[in-house]
Amino acid sequence: MSTQVRFLTKNFGAYDTNSIGAYMNIGGFKALRKAVTMDPEDICTMLSDAKIRGRGGAEYPLGRKWSQARAVKGENKVIICNADEGETTTFKDRELIKNDPFNLIEAMIIAGFVCGATDGYIYMRAEYACYRPILLNAIRQAKNYGFLGENILGKGFDFNIHLYSGGGAYVCGEGTALIRSIEGKAGRPRMKPPFIKVSGVFARPTCLNNVESLSLVPHLLLDQDTYMNCGMGESIGTKLVSVAGNVNNPGVFEIPFGTTIRDIIYNLAGGIQHDREIQLIQFGGASGKVSDASILDTPYTYDDLRAAGVMVGSGGLLVIDKRTSVLDFLRMNQEFFSEESCGQCTPCREGNLHIKIILDKLAKGEATEQDIKTMSTIAKVMSMSSLCGLGETAQNTLQSAMKKFPEVFAIGGTKA
Ligand SMILES: Cc1cc2nc3c(=O)[nH]c(=O)nc-3n(C[C@H](O)[C@H](O)[C@H](O)COP(=O)(O)O)c2cc1C
Ligand code: SF4
């Protein structure tokens, strides 16, 4: 039987989120006070020792990212908090924003101190407009208390935070698209290099972090032991997972890495509605990979999931029961990408459309073996030649389904 842990979520419900005083009463801003007495490089080392990988989906090591951001030469560096949370079935970041906004603000100031930045931008998805007052109030109060502005804590560093609303498109969560959106341009990705760590928002060196990645930092600064004692193997600590689909108790759970998928689905998320059988589980949202129920006893760690053919990614888990066919699920997923492709580059724009056409043909029983081969080729070409991560990962679900459920693609065979 699994238990949830309260490391990252320990402030949830513990203070009035409208009040900086209430936050300080439970230890708020102690981590910042500690951070400014430390060598910033030691903070990067602490993050690397904890093996924190970015929680936004790409799993890039946080300590390395901050160390690289520090090393970039340039004035007026920027920290961006990616709160676009556009990945389907992923709704953990909003819990952190809603339940512990001051911790996020504190984390951004620490990031600013470590990376040598002067400005922080929170880019929050448009649909989270109801949380804007919470963050605006937290920013205002932090400024009034001298945690934002000039000469913070008398340490001679200046930092301000600005809140932006997302452009309402999935692709705006991609770093370069997000930056263009902040700059007032259409939120479309651009070629790299230059990498955003060198030339990001308004051509300033920029360090982009997910809400959950940032939110971990103040907690870790104050209590490394608890974090380091959680987890399994190379996956140290805890993770927020958001479970959606045909489960009895969908929601966000903080688990120690190493919890089995079975524990997550059957204990935390309450099992499958009406005790139906699992058809498939999608890990990490629409750009994630799928498995069948054979994955249930796999521990939720980066390495174990990868060995089982899926990924942690954004931390979303979509559980689909036997009422939905694999093919219908794939068509729905593909519809999403056909809609969300920004249309800028050919492999993604045309590839997503053609795969949708072939999946529809397959559903009508009209697809040929050549269609299946063509679909597989398009999926490979897209992952190799698309301009941004959307096109590169759009076919993860399809490609993993082709391996896990080959019968779905067998012409003349039985469909699951
Ligand atoms: C199409 C697309 C959408 C993305 N959406 C998000 C998002 O909503 N939130 C997020 O944190 N990262 C998103 N990412 C990943 C970001 O580009 C980036 O890797 C991440 O914000 C870095 O933060 P991290 O290292 O803390 O994970 C997206 C990437 C792509 C390609
Ligand atoms: S891969 Fe897709 S979303 Fe990304 S730039 Fe190309 S068309 Fe746009």
Is 244's pLDDT higher than 70?
yes
Q: Is the CB of 341 under 6 A from ligand 1?
A: no
pLDDT, tens only, 134-145: 999 999 999 999
Which atom, in ligand 2's list, is nearest to the CA of 391?
Answer: 1
Residues 159 and 284 in one domain: no
- Tell which of 258, 286, 321 closes a domain: 321
C-alpha 381 – ligand 2 centre gap (Å): 13
- pLDDT value of residue 413: 52
C-alpha 131 – ligand 1 centre gap (Å): 20
CA distances from 320 to 291, 327, 340, 405 (A): 11, 12, 22, 14
Residues 118 and 246 in one domain: no
C-alpha 374 – ligand 1 centre gap (Å): 30
Please report where in the chains the tokens 């190493």 appear, as a residue. 258
- pLDDT value of residue 46: 98
Whole-angstrom Cα distance, residue 354 to residue 391? 13
Nearest CA to ligand 1 atom 24: 54
Residues 272 and 177 in one domain: no
Structural domain includes residue 72 = yes
pLDDT, tens only, 191-231: 999 999 999 999 999 999 999 999 999 999 999 999 999 99
- Asked whether the beta carbons of 222 and 31 are under 8 A apart, the reply is yes
Structural domain includes residue 177 = yes
Mutation test residue for ligand 2: of 174, 342, 396, the one with most atoms within 8 Å of CB: 342
Residues 89 and 166 in one domain: yes
Nearest CA to ligand 1 atom 19: 58
Q: Is the CB of 287 under 6 A from ligand 2?
A: no
pLDDT, tens only, 304-342: 999 999 999 999 999 999 999 999 999 999 999 999 999
Which conformational region is residue 160 in: left (phi greater than 0), alpha (psi within -120 to 50 degrees), or beta? beta
Structural domain includes residue 10 = no
Residues 85 and 165 in one domain: yes
Residues 155 and 139 in one domain: yes
Confidence grade of residue 71 (pLDDT, cut at 50, 70, 90): very high
* Mean pLDDT to the nearest integer, 398-410: 97
- Asked whether the beta carbons of 244 and 250 are under 8 A apart, the reply is yes
| Total domain count, the chain | 3
Structural domain includes residue 416 = no
Q: Is the CB of 391 under 6 A from ligand 2?
A: yes
- Asked whether the beta carbons of 204 and 212 are under 8 A apart, the reply is no
Q: Is the CB of 343 under 6 A from ligand 2?
A: yes
What does DSSP say about strands 289-291 and 278-283: parallel, antiparallel, or unpaired?
antiparallel
Q: Give the orientation angle of helix 396-404 with respect to helix 326-340, to 10 degrees.
A: 160
The 8-class DSSP code of residue 14 comes to: T
Question: Residue 84 CA: which ligand is closest?
Answer: 1
Confidence grade of residue 167 (pLDDT, cut at 50, 70, 90): confident
Residues 220 and 248 in one domain: no
Q: Is the CB of 344 under 6 A from ligand 2?
A: yes
Q: Is the CB of 176 under 6 A from ligand 2?
A: no
- pLDDT value of residue 20: 98
3-class state of residue 199 by DSSP: coil
Least-confidence region, from 96-105, 187-196, 312-321, 404-413: 404-413
- Asked whether the beta carbons of 214 and 111 are under 8 A apart, the reply is yes
Is 72's pLDDT higher than 60?
yes
Whole-angstrom Cα distance, residue 375 to residue 350? 12
- Tell which of 226, 253, 283 closes a domain: 226
* Mean pLDDT to the nearest integer, 126-151: 98
Nearest CA to ligand 2 atom 6: 345
Q: Is the CB of 389 under 6 A from ligand 1?
A: yes
Q: Is the CB of 171 under 6 A from ligand 2?
A: yes
Which atom, in ligand 1's list, is nearest to the CA of 175?
Answer: 17
* Mean pLDDT to the nearest integer, 376-386: 98
Residues 192 and 236 in one domain: no
Please report where in the chains the tokens 């009209």 appear, as a residue. 366
SS3 annotation, the chain? CCCCCCCCCCCCCCCCCCCHHHHHHCCCCHHHHHHCCCCHHHHHHHHHHCCCECCCCCCCEHHHHHHHHHHCCCCCEEEEEEECCCCCCCCCHHHHHHHCHHHHHHHHHHHHHHHCEEEEEEEECHHHHHHHHHHHHHHHHHHHCCCCECCHHHCCCCEEEEEEECCCCHHHHCHHHHHHHHCCCCCCCCCCCCCCCCCCHHHCCEEEEEHHHHHHHHHHHHCHHHHHCCEECCEECEEEEEEEECECCCEEEEEECCCEHHHHHHHHCCCEHHHCCEEEEEECCCCCEEECHHHCCCECCHHHHHHCCCCCCCCEEEEEECCCCHHHHHHHHHHHHHHHCCCCCHHHHHHHHHHHHHHHHHHCCCCCHHHHHHHHHHHHHHHHHCCCHHHHHCCHHHHHHHHHCHHHHCCCCCCC
Which atom, in ligand 1's list, is nearest to the CA of 80?
Answer: 21
Q: What is the CATH number of the domain that holds 352?
A: 1.20.1440.230
Which atom, in ligand 1's list, is nearest to the CA of 214?
Answer: 26
Q: Which domain holds residue 275?
A: 230-321
For 86, phi then psi, to 5°, come to: -95, -10
Structural domain includes residue 2 = no
Structural domain includes residue 370 = yes
C-alpha 80 – ligand 1 centre gap (Å): 11
C-alpha 350 – ligand 1 centre gap (Å): 23
Determine the number of helices (DSSP H) and then strands (DSSP E) in the chain. Answer: 17, 11
Per-chain mean pLDDT for the chain: 97
C-alpha 336 – ligand 2 centre gap (Å): 13
Which atom, in ligand 1's list, is nearest to the CA of 90?
Answer: 8
C-alpha 103 – ligand 1 centre gap (Å): 20
Mutation test residue for ligand 1: of 93, 210, 341, the one with most atoms within 8 Å of CB: 210
Q: Is the pTM of this model over 0.95?
A: yes
